[in-house]
């Protein structure tokens, strides 16, 4: 094994004391809404579910020193009906089970108390929202009620009740959220709190309510029980405060007896910074933790797309933080801490911040992960659930794109004899193009991880080698899996003098792309907006055309916004509610889908049609029709789709065989 | 010895605040000095009540005024031109000597006067080359120590500067021990204080503290300096460089130590953090073979090799030369990127390079946004051409 | 073979912080660790002990807590530990330290002295050669490996540019520069002998401590370590802050792509290199 992880990751794997509680290492699973709670209707909602408990237990199983559980602190405190209630005694059983299991793995668990305050966007229709001063989010248009003193008192009592109750139920500490959105952040925010009573109008007044809550809790839980704060250091809006204010707040909170400060930033009014995606660099938030370290004596948690142990150790070793907060990294690979301890660094599956899986938190699906099918499905797919195959079979996989590689990975881990064939020289399939879109280089992690797994499982991957019927006959496997991908479909149109390309060609042969480009978005996904960004960055002027209200409809929300901004900054524009009518010479004629008005774009040299792809599954059909062995199809070869669906599908398939 | 006189103490607590080593804690109004005390004497300097006293035993005082001249030791072999670091130190010595109207001497091993050494020495303001005449052709600590001791006793220089190279750091302490004087290693700054003493500044504690050191009573004052720290300053002054042989010197190399073998290392893997020129390869080089060419090129050009995480993951390059957020951070004078896309996780590791030339076949590669010269092409092919140019030069 | 290994207890430099208010070192609670290179020397010594059936004495000059490192070394297999501890030794620079250690080693008796090539706090690398000078024996620096063959030591010296092989007739001082030796696994034993406490009685007073140190610290200034993270100024407006973060703090420069032949491109690159 060579190096000892305790030496290489001296700080990351060292214990730390928070109040009376000792954490076994510096890795914290940051609190996040999961949408895993149960909703059985009015006053039967906010109930803790097994799914919720398993999600957190899994991260403790994976080795995190501390797990923080997002909860609503009072009946009106939920951000959405499935947000579990901390104050609700009906949750005792599940929570006791959860904390017990977490403790069994040597982890500790804190409850994070939220009150949604002015946040409406998680829940439709919105509740009656409370805020220090009547005004919308301003992330949405729903207005709020100016909170009255007795309501504040009531909520404070709920904070205390929840804290005391959870201490009974096995929670080791409590974290109060004064970050992202919610009641407490609105109180501390100078823009959102314009009160004229003792709870607004000055720094001290704005801090009064959170500090009163802290002191009330402290009184009941005693000196040693950790009370931490997840603190928004920078609102990242043009009306909001910057990190100097965050430091000032932290100092006041330290004085009020808080045990640690967990740095954070952003809010719903700039959702991009609330859940930073791949456009934001890894470990970007370290400066906020570093500034806190300069000002405080109590421990500080660093945050912000930290997904790598080497970086984490450097942050701690440089004295820029005392603990590392990871959220999506541990959703993506809950075993990260254990892998660090075992020095299996190449095995760590890094979160690439695509936000496409976890971004579904607001939907029925809840938090899932494009790379980790087990996220949100821990009971059935989590650590330790992979059963070895009853009968070891000989399996050939055609295609080393992500569908093929994922299927091969799980098959191999179950003990099957697997071989993978890829007709191109490189593995990765369409990800090889996806990663070239500006700022999307981290997409390569999907196939890097799978390739490393296949190497470790000693699965041969033959590149430059197409799996043909003859080869199948020759090798005579039990099962053939076709992961042969898809081809872009091009409509049969007259393209006049204009170069007609599909999105893949546009990226693979960018020299064919001219300077004035019209791109028709018929998929609402990265093939359109992403490719527009790519060619825009080499100087093409792009007009993107969509029949929707905005291009890139199915692209994850935070990326959508950034892509649109980049389109405009690159000198491009979007024509909405329009479709391609015809091309004459170098003029592209478009038609408004509502009014049928025509518009023309002159002097166009390139027309890219980002249309549907069609499954490339000849091989599958041949084997299936022959009928002499089992054949399955997975990935784009079955139905063109997203990484999220395909990885899950591949895992499911591989577990069945 | 640091002495504390409680009777003078006014309990002001200033000593606790000024101690740079955190060795003083006020307990019940009075300072308690723990084992971290290094007797630097700053508390004594700052104490308003004179409660601290640093004993100055005057033994071993030497006639410092007798010592004049600024020397530089060169460790070049016979037949080699003067090293860059020697020229840097000569320039430094000249700047110091000018302030005291003293002379600069280069002490170096050689059997005969060499015109090229004289020329370079003259251009940096050296007054004299003192030759250690020995037939032993390599580096031997005993030989050099004996020679330098002999020279010091004869000529009494006030300061001797050593290059802080591997052999320089091997030699300088032995000389300081032999002569019984002070030596400050790895100086980043050398100047003269108000008393004309050599003020030697160096980083310590992992670089977070800069210490200024003096050798007030012992002579010569000795310091070593790493290459590329000081700047070469050429002078036009028509100075005649005298060449002298060290008389009364006869010594033999250490017979208990014999150099019996030497295997050259590939320069490509020399200290990446200190290299001036770095040639880096990324995924765009496509295979291990191309990396082999890159390493050969580095070796020949005396450049350090670097790689991106992707290339390291492929097994084309060793992990030690990975540059980026999870690898090393470097700031060379010239960084040449072959087949590197320039994703932030790599560029954050080399963004402080003074000049960046990038070769990539993808016009949208983000590295083109931050480099100084953008070359559109196949990295492997351009690398091959570079190797060809080098071959032709040789031929 | 009688091996003496010199070890130094150093503050964990990763832990050493500067108090932002007083600008001084904060030593409170900063643990001491064995200098990594000395640790490598101890592991090298254990290897040689096995090969030659020898004994290892570890020696440290420092305050009482330095004894912890001697115990550490003895748990790994060193046979005896000597702590040279005396108030008179305080404030010693490298010359005074080298003298004190050398004289003590002479008293202990030795065939081979091992030590780390440098300490990770001071990083001077001077004490090893000084010990050699005071003992009047050769001192080999930058050694990464030692092999013993009958009477001779074969020392491998990594100069960065090449690896030299030296044949050495002892006694000698060898300074170890390969940190990785410190990571070698070892078995810990619990029964270790008591540390021999030595004072400065056997040393000449004018040559030790502050008195024996020709160099003095004239001033100390705190130089913040170059911090390796994105530094965002809180005074910038929101858009600037976010853009700075997205660009990784890098300035984007618009430039023309060189599309010439690969030969002329290569020439351009080689010219740039030759100029340096």
Q: What is the CATH number of the domain that holds B79?
A: 3.40.50.620
Question: Quick check: A538 contacting B, CB < 8 Å?
Answer: yes
Identify whether residues A74 and A21 lie together within a single domain.
yes
A452/B364 Cβ within 8 A? no
Band (A5; pLDDT cuts 50, 70, 90): confident
Give me the residue from A441, A534, A538 closest to B343, CB to CB.
A441
Helix/strand/coil (H, E, C) string of A428-476? CCCHHHHCCCCCCHHHHHHHHHHHHHHHHCCCCEEECCCCCHHHHHHHC
A101 in any annotated domain: yes
Identify whether residues B223 and B75 lie together within a single domain.
yes
The pLDDT of residue A61 is: 97
The pLDDT of residue A361 is: 86
Chain A contact set for B310 (CB, 8 A): 444, 448
The pLDDT of residue B274 is: 81
Chain C residue with minimum CA distance to A294: C20
Could you tell me which of B183, B212, B38, B20 has the C-alpha nearest to residue C91?
B38
Chain C residue with minimum CA distance to B391: C270
Look at chain B and report how many structural domains it folds into.
3
- Find the mean pLDDT for residues C160-189: 93
Interface of B with A in 275-304 (CB under 8 A): none
Flag the least confident range among A24-33, A398-407, B21-30. Answer: B21-30
Chain C contact set for B38 (CB, 8 A): 90-91, 217
Chain B contact set for C124 (CB, 8 A): 173, 183-186
B contact test, residue of A537, A540, A542, A569 with most B CBs within 10 A: A537
Give chain C's domains with CATH numbers.
2-207 (3.40.50.620), 238-275 (no CATH)
| % of chain C residues with pLDDT over 70 | 93
Note the pLDDT tens digit of each residue in A68-92.
999 999 998 888 889 999 999 999 9
Question: Quick check: B53 contacting A, CB < 8 Å?
Answer: no
Chain C residue with minimum CA distance to A280: C246
The pLDDT of residue C110 is: 96
As given in the structure block, the two tokens for residue A253 are: 């909170």
Question: Quick check: A313 contacting B, CB < 8 Å?
Answer: no
CATH number for the domain that contains residue A507: 3.50.50.60
Identify whether residues A251 and A311 lie together within a single domain.
yes
Of the three residues A595, A611, A627, the one that is the final residue of a domain is A611
B344/A311 Cβ within 8 A? no
Question: Quick check: A340 contacting B, CB < 8 Å?
Answer: no
Of the three residues B195, B213, B245, the one that is the final residue of a domain is B245
B310/A538 Cβ within 8 A? no
Identify whether residues A29 and A17 lie together within a single domain.
yes
- Find the mean pLDDT for residues A406-426: 96
> Which has the higher per-residue pLDDT, B207 or A63?
A63
A442/B364 Cβ within 8 A? no
Chain C residue with minimum CA distance to A293: C20
Identify whether residues B38 and B187 lie together within a single domain.
no
A539 in any annotated domain: yes
Identify whether residues A535 and A470 lie together within a single domain.
no
The pLDDT of residue C217 is: 86
Note the pLDDT tens digit of each residue in C153-172.
999 999 988 999 999 998 99
Band (B204; pLDDT cuts 50, 70, 90): confident
Identify whether residues B171 and B76 lie together within a single domain.
yes
DSSP helix/strand/coil, C173:
strand
The pLDDT of residue A1 is: 38
CA distances from A499 to A506, A514, A599, A614, B113 (A): 10, 8, 20, 22, 74
Could you tell me which of C149, C174, C154 has the C-alpha nearest to residue C166?
C154
For residue C248, give how far its alpha carbon lies from the nearest alpha carbon of chain B (Å).
7
Identify whether residues B32 and B76 lie together within a single domain.
no
A389 in any annotated domain: no
CATH number for the domain that contains residue B15: 3.30.70.20
A10/C231 Cβ within 8 A? no
User: Could you tell me if A166 and A181 are in contact, meaning their C-beta atoms sit under 8 angstroms apart?
Assistant: no
Identify whether residues B80 and B165 lie together within a single domain.
yes
Q: What angle do CA B232, B236, B238 make, to 5 degrees?
A: 125
Identify whether residues A524 and A650 lie together within a single domain.
no
CATH number for the domain that contains residue B370: 3.40.50.1220
B250 in any annotated domain: no
Note the pLDDT tens digit of each residue in B308-335.
999 998 899 999 899 998 888 898 999 9
pLDDT higher than 70, residue C28: no
Count of CB contacts below 8 A, A vs B? 40
Other beta carbons within 10 angstroms of residue C22's beta carbon come to 15
Identify whether residues A285 and A315 lie together within a single domain.
yes
Chain C contact set for A245 (CB, 8 A): 234
CA distances from A32 to A94, A104, B132, C226 (A): 18, 22, 73, 34
Identify whether residues A329 and A350 lie together within a single domain.
yes
Identify whether residues B149 and B170 lie together within a single domain.
yes
B313/A283 Cβ within 8 A? no
A311/B364 Cβ within 8 A? no
pLDDT higher than 60, residue B61: no
Band (A374; pLDDT cuts 50, 70, 90): very high
- Find the mean pLDDT for residues B29-48: 81
Identify whether residues B215 and B70 lie together within a single domain.
yes
A466 in any annotated domain: yes
B299 in any annotated domain: yes
The pLDDT of residue C219 is: 82
Identify whether residues B209 and B288 lie together within a single domain.
no
B385 in any annotated domain: yes
The pLDDT of residue C210 is: 86
A387 in any annotated domain: no
What distance in Å separates the CA atoms of residue C182 and residue C36, rounded to the nearest whole number? 6
For residue A309, give how far its alpha carbon lies from the nearest alpha carbon of chain B (Å).
9
The pLDDT of residue A2 is: 47
The pLDDT of residue B308 is: 95
Give me the residue from C15, C185, C234 closest to A243, CB to CB.
C234
- Find the mean pLDDT for residues C25-42: 84
Identify whether residues A375 and A259 lie together within a single domain.
yes
Identify whether residues B232 and B298 lie together within a single domain.
no
Note the pLDDT tens digit of each residue in B92-110.
999 999 999 999 999 999 9
Residue C90, judged by CB atoms within 10 A of its CB (0-12, 13-18, 19+), counts as: buried
- Find the mean pLDDT for residues A232-255: 96
Helix/strand/coil (H, E, C) string of B279-312? EEECHHHCCHHHHHHHHHHHHHHCCEEEECHHHH
CATH number for the domain that contains residue A415: 3.40.50.720
Identify whether residues A343 and A240 lie together within a single domain.
yes
For residue C74, give how far its alpha carbon lies from the nearest alpha carbon of chain B (Å).
23
Note the pLDDT tens digit of each residue in C92-133.
999 999 999 999 999 999 999 999 999 988 889 999 999 999
Q: For residues C3-21, b (16+ Cβ closer than 10 Å) or e, as one string? A: bbbbbbbbbbbbbbbbeee
The pLDDT of residue B39 is: 73
A386 in any annotated domain: no
CATH number for the domain that contains residue A373: 3.20.20.70
Band (A121; pLDDT cuts 50, 70, 90): low
pLDDT higher than 80, residue A163: yes
Which residues, including other chains, have CB under 8 Å from residue C123's CB and lie 6 or more apart?
A: B185, B186, B204
C255/B206 Cβ within 8 A? no
Chain C contact set for B254 (CB, 8 A): 138
Band (C13; pLDDT cuts 50, 70, 90): low
Chain A residue with minimum CA distance to B206: A318
Task: Please tell me whether the peptide bond between A172 and the residue prior to it is cis, using omega within 30 degrees of 0.
Answer: no
For residue A575, give how far its alpha carbon lies from the nearest alpha carbon of chain C (Å).
26
B260 in any annotated domain: no
Which residues, including other chains, have CB under 8 Å from residue C76's CB and lie 6 or more apart?
A: C42, C43, C46, C186, C187, C188
Question: Quick check: B382 contacting C, CB < 8 Å?
Answer: yes
CA distances from B356 to B10, C115, C169 (A): 60, 41, 50
- Find the mean pLDDT for residues A288-296: 95
Q: How does DSSP assign A222-269, residue by residue?
A: -SSS-EEEEEES---SSSS--HHHHHHHHHHHHHTT-SEEEEE---GG
pLDDT higher than 80, residue B35: no
Give me the residue from C20, C183, C242 closest to A236, CB to CB.
C242
pLDDT higher than 90, residue A409: yes
Identify whether residues A50 and A27 lie together within a single domain.
yes
> Which has the higher per-residue pLDDT, A124 or A637?
A637
Q: Which domain holds residue A630?
A: 394-481+615-656
| % of chain B residues with pLDDT over 90 | 62
- Find the mean pLDDT for residues A484-499: 92
C239/A287 Cβ within 8 A? no
Chain B residue with minimum CA distance to A455: B314
Note the pLDDT tens digit of each residue in A312-365.
999 998 889 999 999 999 999 999 999 999 999 999 999 999 999 998 888 878
B188 in any annotated domain: yes
Identify whether residues A498 and A399 lie together within a single domain.
no
Question: Facing residues of B213 across strands?
Answer: B200, C217
C164/B259 Cβ within 8 A? yes
Identify whether residues B84 and B115 lie together within a single domain.
yes
Identify whether residues A353 and A453 lie together within a single domain.
no
Give me the residue from A243, A283, A439 closest to C229, CB to CB.
A283
B261 in any annotated domain: no
The pLDDT of residue C18 is: 65
| % of chain B residues with pLDDT over 70 | 97
Of the three residues A327, A355, A381, the one that is the final residue of a domain is A381
A310 in any annotated domain: yes
B251 in any annotated domain: no
Identify whether residues B13 and B74 lie together within a single domain.
no
Chain B residue with minimum CA distance to A537: B364
B162 in any annotated domain: yes
A360 in any annotated domain: yes
Interface of A with B in 345-404 (CB under 8 A): 346
Look at chain A and report how many structural domains it folds into.
3
Give me the residue from B35, B180, B277 closest to C64, CB to CB.
B35
Identify whether residues B164 and B224 lie together within a single domain.
yes
Which residues, including other chains, have CB under 8 Å from residue B259's CB and lie 6 or more apart?
A: B138, C164, C165, C166
Number of residues in chain B: 395
Q: Which domain holds residue B235?
A: 64-245
């Amino acid at each position: 094994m060579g190096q000892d992880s305790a030496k290489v990751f001296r700080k990351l794997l060292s214990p730390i004391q928070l109040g009376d509680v000792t954490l076994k290492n510096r890795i914290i699973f940051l609190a996040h809404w999961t949408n895993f709670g149960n909703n059985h209707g009015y006053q039967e909602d906010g109930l803790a579910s097994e799914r919720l408990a398993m999600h957190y237990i899994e991260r403790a199983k994976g080795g995190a020193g501390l797990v923080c559980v997002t909860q609503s602190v009072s009946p009106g405190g939920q951000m959405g009906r499935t947000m579990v209630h901390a104050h609700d005694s009906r949750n005792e059983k599940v929570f006791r089970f959860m904390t017990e299991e977490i403790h069994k793995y040597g982890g500790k668990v804190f409850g994070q108390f939220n009150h949604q305050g002015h946040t409406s966007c998680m829940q439709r229709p919105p509740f009656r929202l409370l805020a220090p001063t009547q005004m919308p989010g301003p992330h949405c248009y729903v207005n709020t009620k100016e909170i009255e003193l007795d309501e504040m008192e009531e909520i404070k009592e709920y904070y205390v009740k929840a804290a005391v109750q959870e201490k009974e139920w096995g929670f080791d500490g409590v974290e109060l959220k004064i970050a992202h959105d919610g009641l407490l952040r609105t109180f501390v925010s100078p823009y959102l709190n314009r009160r004229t009573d003792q709870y607004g109008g000055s720094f001290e007044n704005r801090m009064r309510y959170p500090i009163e809550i802290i002191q009330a809790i402290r009184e009941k839980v005693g000196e040693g029980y950790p009370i931490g704060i997840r603190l928004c250091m920078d609102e990242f809006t043009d009306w909001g405060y910057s990190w100097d204010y965050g430091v000032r707040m932290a100092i006041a909170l330290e004085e009020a007896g808080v045990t640690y400060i967990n740095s954070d930033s952003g809010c719903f009014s700039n959702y991009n910074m609330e859940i930073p995606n791949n456009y934001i660099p890894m470990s970007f938030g370290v400066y906020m933790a570093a500034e806190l370290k300069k000002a405080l004596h109590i421990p500080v948690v660093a945050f912000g797309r930290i997904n790598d142990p080497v970086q984490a150790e450097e942050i701690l070793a440089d004295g820029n933080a005392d603990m590392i907060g990871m959220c999506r990294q541990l959703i993506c690979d809950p075993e990260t801490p254990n892998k660090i301890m075992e020095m299996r660094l190449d095995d760590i599956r890094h979160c690439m911040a695509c936000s496409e899986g976890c971004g579904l938190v607001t939907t029925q699906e809840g938090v899932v992960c494009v790379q980790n099918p087990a996220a949100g499905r821990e009971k059935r797919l989590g650590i330790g659930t992979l059963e070895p195959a009853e009968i070891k079979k000989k399996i050939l996989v055609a295609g080393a794109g992500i569908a093929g590689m994922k299927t091969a990975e799980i098959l191999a881990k179950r003990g099957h004899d697997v071989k993978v064939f890829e007709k191109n020289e490189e593995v990765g399939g369409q990800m090889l193009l996806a990663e070239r879109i500006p700022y999307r280089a981290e997409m390569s992690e999907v196939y890097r991880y799978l390739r490393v797994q296949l190497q470790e499982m000693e699965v041969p991957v033959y590149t430059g080698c197409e799996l043909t019927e003859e080869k199948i006959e020759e090798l005579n496997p039990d099962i053939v899996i076709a992961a042969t991908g898809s081809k872009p479909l091009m409509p049969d149109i007259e393209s006049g003098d204009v170069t007609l390309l599909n999105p893949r060609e546009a990226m693979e042969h960018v020299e064919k792309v001219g300077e004035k480009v019209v791109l028709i978005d018929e998929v609402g996904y990265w093939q359109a907006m992403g490719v527009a960004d790519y060619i825009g960055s080499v100087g093409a002027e792009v007009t993107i055309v969509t029949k929707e209200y905005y291009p890139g409809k199915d692209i994850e929300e935070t990326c959508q916004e950034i892509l649109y901004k980049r389109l405009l900054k690159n000198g491009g524009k979007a024509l909405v509610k329009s479709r391609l009518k015809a091309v004459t010479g170098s003029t592209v004629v478009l038609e408004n889908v509502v009014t049928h008005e025509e518009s023309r774009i002159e002097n166009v040299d390139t027309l890219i049609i980002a249309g549907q792809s069609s499954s490339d599954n000849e091989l599958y059909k041949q084997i299936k029709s022959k009928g002499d062995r089992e054949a399955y199809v997975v990935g784009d070869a079955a139905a063109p789709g997203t990484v999220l669906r395909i990885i899950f599908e591949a895992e499911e398939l591989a577990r069945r065989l | 010895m640091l002495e504390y006189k409680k009777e003078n103490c006014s309990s002001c607590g200033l000593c606790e605040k000024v101690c740079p080593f955190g060795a003083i804690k006020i307990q019940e109004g009075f300072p308690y000095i723990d084992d971290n005390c290094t007797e630097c004497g700053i508390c004594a300097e700052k104490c308003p009540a004179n409660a601290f006293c640093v004993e100055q035993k005057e033994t071993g005082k030497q006639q410092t005024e007798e010592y004049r001249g600024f020397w530089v030791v060169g460790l070049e072999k016979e037949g080699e031109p003067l090293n860059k670091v020697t020229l840097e130190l000569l320039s430094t010595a000249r700047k110091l000597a000018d302030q005291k109207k003293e002379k600069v001497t280069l002490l170096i091993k050689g059997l005969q006067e060499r015109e090229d050494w004289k020329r370079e020495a003259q251009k940096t303001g050296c007054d004299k080359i003192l030759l250690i005449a020995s037939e032993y052709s390599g580096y031997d600590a005993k030989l050099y120590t004996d020679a330098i001791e002999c020279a010091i006793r004869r000529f009494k220089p006030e300061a001797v500067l050593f290059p802080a190279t591997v052999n320089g750091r091997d030699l300088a302490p032995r000389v300081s021990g032999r002569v019984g004087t002070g030596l400050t290693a790895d100086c980043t700054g050398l100047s003269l204080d108000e008393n004309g003493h050599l003020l030697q500044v160096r980083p310590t504690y992992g670089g977070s503290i800069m210490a200024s050191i003096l050798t007030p009573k012992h002579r010569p004052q000795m310091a070593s300096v790493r290459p590329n720290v000081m700047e070469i300053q050429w002078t036009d002054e028509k100075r005649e460089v005298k060449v002298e042989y060290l008389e009364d010197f006869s010594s033999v190399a250490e017979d208990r130590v014999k150099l019996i073998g030497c295997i050259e290392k590939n320069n490509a893997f020399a200290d990446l953090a200190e290299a001036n020129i770095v040639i880096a390869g990324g995924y765009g080089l496509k295979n291990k073979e191309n990396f082999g060419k890159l390493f050969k090129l580095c070796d020949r050009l005396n450049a350090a090799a670097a790689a991106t995480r992707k290339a390291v993951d492929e097994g084309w390059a060793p992990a030690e030369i990975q540059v980026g957020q999870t690898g090393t951070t470097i700031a060379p004078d010239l960084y040449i990127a072959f087949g590197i896309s320039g994703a932030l996780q790599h560029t954050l590791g080399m963004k402080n390079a003074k000049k960046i030339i990038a070769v990539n076949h993808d016009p949208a590669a983000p590295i083109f946004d931050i480099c100084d010269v953008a070359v559109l092409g196949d990295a492997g092919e351009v690398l091959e051409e570079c190797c060809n140019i080098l071959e032709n030069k040789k031929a | 073979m009688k091996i003496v290994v010199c070890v130094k207890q150093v503050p964990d430099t990763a832990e050493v912080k500067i108090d932002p208010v007083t600008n001084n070192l904060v030593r409170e609670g900063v643990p001491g660790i064995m200098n990594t290179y000395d640790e490598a020397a101890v592991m090298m010594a254990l290897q040689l002990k096995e090969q030659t059936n020898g004994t290892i004495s570890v020696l440290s000059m420092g305050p009482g807590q330095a004894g912890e490192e001697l115990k550490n070394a003895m748990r790994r297999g060193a046979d005896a530990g000597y702590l040279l501890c005396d108030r008179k030794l305080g404030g010693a620079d490298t010359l005074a330290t080298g003298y004190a250690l050398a004289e003590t080693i002479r008293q202990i008796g030795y065939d081979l002295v091992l030590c780390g090539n440098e300490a990770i706090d001071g990083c001077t690398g001077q004490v090893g050669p000084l010990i050699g000078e005071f003992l009047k024996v050769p001192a080999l620096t930058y050694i990464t490996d030692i092999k013993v063959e009958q009477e001779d030591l074969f020392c491998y010296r990594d100069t960065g540019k090449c690896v030299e092989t030296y044949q050495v007739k002892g006694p000698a001082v060898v300074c170890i520069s390969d940190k990785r030796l410190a990571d070698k696994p070892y078995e810990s034993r619990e029964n270790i002998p008591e540390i021999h406490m030595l004072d400065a009685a056997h040393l000449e007073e004018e040559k030790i401590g502050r008195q024996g140190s020709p160099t003095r610290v004239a001033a100390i200034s705190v130089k913040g370590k170059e911090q390796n993270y994105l530094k965002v100024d809180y005074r910038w407006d929101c858009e600037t802050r976010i853009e700075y973060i997205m660009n990784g703090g890098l300035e984007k420069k618009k430039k023309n792509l060189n599309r010439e032949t690969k030969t002329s491109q290569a020439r351009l690159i080689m010219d740039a290199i030759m100029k340096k």
